[in-house]
Amino acid sequence: RKEVEQDPGPFNVPEGATVAFNCTYSNSASQSFFWYRQDCRKEPKLLMSVYSSGNEDGRFTAQLNRASQYISLLIRDSKLSDSATYLCVVNWGYQKVTFGIGTKLQVIP
């Protein structure tokens, strides 16, 4: 089983839709979790950290379920500019970080 698993998509959604991505991780000792965004042919950039209590940043909500070992990202009111690949990132020790393969989102007019 891969350490971090994501559905690569693509997820094609209309503007204004709500879309959710999940990411599962295998190491129960994982300590911190992140969502990164990567635009086509660009470098990854941090979108948001994921806290145990869940956290929200505008239209984006991230949640962590330690019991089932997954994190999720919810995007409300999708914009064309949200089209990108979303990388799930798990930190499981000092200098131990694993990136998922990413989920591609395409928002359609």
Partner 1 sequence: NAGVTQTPKFQVLKTGQSMTLQCAQDMNHNSMYWYRQDPGMGLRLIYYSASEGTTDKGEVPNGYNVSRLNKREFSLRLESAAPSQTSVYFCASSEPGMSYEQYFGPGTRLTVT
Residue numbers of the site for partner 1 (CB under 8 A)? 4, 8, 32, 34, 42-46, 49, 87, 91, 94-95, 97, 99-102
CA distances from 61 to 45, 53, 54, 95 (A): 17, 11, 7, 26
Torsion angles phi and psi, residue 23, rounded to 5: -145, 130
Closest to partner 1 by CB, 36 vs 75, is 36
Whole-Å CA distances, 49 to 87, 91, 103? 12, 11, 17
Exposed/middle/buried for residue 62 (C-beta within 10 Å: 0-12, 13-18, 19+): buried
Measured from the CB atom, the residue of 44 and 69 that comes closer to partner 1 is: 44
- CB-nearer residue toward partner 1: 8 or 14: 8
Minimal distance, residue 87 CB to partner 1, in Å: 7
Among residues 81 and 94, whose Cβ is nearest to partner 1?
94
Query: For residues 63 and 65, what is the distance between their CA atoms, to the nearest angstrom?
Result: 7
